[in-house]
Amino acid sequence: MNKPHSLYIGLMSGTSLDGIDAVLAKIGADGKASTLEAVSTPFSPELRKALFELQSPGSNELHREKQAGNALALAYAEAVNQLLKKAGLQPFDITAIGAHGQTIRHQPHLGEMAYTHQTLNPSLLAERTGIDVIADFRSRDLAAGGHGAPLVPAFHAQQFVSSENIAILNIGGIANLTLLPNNGEVTGFDTGPGNMLMDAWVHEHQGNAFDENGQWALQGKVNETLLAKMLDDSFFIKSPPKSTGRDDFHLAWLQEKLVNENYLCEDVQATLLHLTAHSVLEALQHHAPQTQKLIVCGGGAKNNALMNLLKLKSQSFFKQTLEITTSEPAGIDPQLVEGLAFAWLAWAHKEKRPANLPAVTGAKGPRILGACYPA
């Protein structure tokens, strides 16, 4: 007999490399999840630097990757301990931890030789927390011919139920859409850069981790020629299923677009802001023109300049009024949606329920995702 609900912890550290979101979730037998508590902890400068450098090939990277995986497990464990203390709980109260790890390579286009790698030492995390850890969620979908990403649309379909044609937009380092039409045919895909290029550019020129509320971007003007050059990337015209990451969009990719030109730095930032908004809306208009409501989550939901630009530009993409809001009215903090999703993915693994959507990832069929590392 199923318990009416169980407690899970979801851990998420995304492509923005800003830190860890740890979410304590109550998940019912029907799969409905709600957040009970949460903590967010920044990466140490050393760990952030190590993870960033692993995004590109380098010397002795096998050793460095294993060391970073250990350091990430220790940072995850500290976040879990803070969360348990805040909630007044003990490790035995938690059924499992869902831990995404940190993606450092994502190569889904290589046929039978396709791979994806999220650095983490899940055994060390289980040892330090005394809680079962479910990790490595992408590999099984990839083995079944899928992209292993995006993973959250199955969770979105479970949580955001509406009689309207809605879409969920997650803006982390990469932006991805989940399309939830009222006919029930769920699809989803990555649309391209979210915060990642904006974060890289502002860090390169101002030393900041991110452009808070898009204030620096607002000081510049969009360069339409540069924007067109960016949108000419082949990724944007690919048909779903499709996924992307730092392997495709990175600072060197941006700098190639700037060669032999003299752009103001703030104009580049403004153009990157428009790149994110334009690529999202163009994809939504192309694949789900009937969408009535767009629900935004992830760190980008807190960028007021980006939210306002989405609302403004949507008027030229859609005939009908597109309502754009965050996940807050649905009772989920936009910053915590992905952390909650990985708690749900751990629940799905424990319940032996498939958690991929073949229509989203391109896999041959539904698969149970993740591997369990017992405490």
DSSP labels for 123-139? HHHHHHHTS-EEE--SH
Q: Where residue 209 falls among pLDDT bands split at 50, 70, 90?
A: confident
List of residues 6+ apart from 335 with CB closer than 8 A: 21, 40, 297, 298, 299, 301, 302
Residue-level pLDDT at 247 = 87
In the predicted structure, residue 14 carries a pLDDT above the cut 70: yes
In the predicted structure, residue 340 carries a pLDDT above the cut 60: yes
pLDDT digits (tens, 9 = 90+) for 59-103: 999 999 999 999 999 999 999 999 999 999 999 999 999 999 999
Q: Where residue 1 falls among pLDDT bands split at 50, 70, 90?
A: very low
The answer to the question of residue 356 being in a domain is: yes
Q: Say how many domains are in the chain.
A: 2
Same structural domain, 9 and 74 = yes
Same structural domain, 128 and 231 = no
HEC letters along 12-26: ECCCCCCEEEEEEEE
Same structural domain, 173 and 292 = yes
Residue-level pLDDT at 163 = 86
**Distance set, CA 75 to CA 85, 196, 269, 326 (Å):** 15, 22, 31, 29
Q: Tell which residue, 121, 19, 15, 134, has the closest CA to residue 79.
A: 19
The answer to the question of residue 155 being in a domain is: no
| CA atoms of 276 and 192, how far apart (whole Å) | 7
The answer to the question of residue 176 being in a domain is: yes
DSSP labels for 87-154? HT--GGG-SEEEE--EEEEEETTSGGG-EEEEE--HHHHHHHHTS-EEE--SHHHHHTTS-----THH
pLDDT digits (tens, 9 = 90+) for 178-189: 999 988 889 999
Same structural domain, 143 and 169 = no
In the predicted structure, residue 225 carries a pLDDT above the cut 90: yes
* Mean pLDDT computed over every residue of the chain: 94
Residue-level pLDDT at 78 = 98
The number of residues in the chain equals 375
Same structural domain, 209 and 245 = yes
| CA atoms of 373 and 75, how far apart (whole Å) | 17
pLDDT digits (tens, 9 = 90+) for 136-177: 999 999 999 999 999 999 999 999 988 899 999 999 999 999
In the predicted structure, residue 213 carries a pLDDT above the cut 50: yes
DSSP labels for 241-276? S----TTTSSHHHHHHHHTT----HHHHHHHHHHHH
Give the residue-averaged pLDDT of 317-326: 95
The answer to the question of residue 91 being in a domain is: yes
Same structural domain, 362 and 278 = no
- What is the four-CA torsion angle of 217, 337, 103, 50, rounded to 10 degrees? 60
Same structural domain, 221 and 278 = yes
For residue 367, give its domain range. Answer: 5-149+337-373
Q: Tell which residue, 118, 107, 23, has the closest CA to residue 69.
A: 118
pLDDT digits (tens, 9 = 90+) for 94-114: 999 999 999 999 898 898 999
Give the residue-averaged pLDDT of 15-41: 92
The end-to-end CA distance of the chain, in Å, is 24
Same structural domain, 200 and 105 = no
The answer to the question of residue 154 being in a domain is: no
Same structural domain, 165 and 281 = yes
pTM here is: 0.92
Domain CATH number, residue 311: 3.30.420.40
Give the residue-averaged pLDDT of 19-42: 95
The answer to the question of residue 331 being in a domain is: no
Same structural domain, 198 and 306 = yes
| Residue type, position 35, single letter | T
In the predicted structure, residue 43 carries a pLDDT above the cut 50: yes
pLDDT digits (tens, 9 = 90+) for 240-297: 999 998 889 999 999 999 998 999 999 999 999 999 999 999 999 999 999 999 999 9
In the predicted structure, residue 35 carries a pLDDT above the cut 90: yes
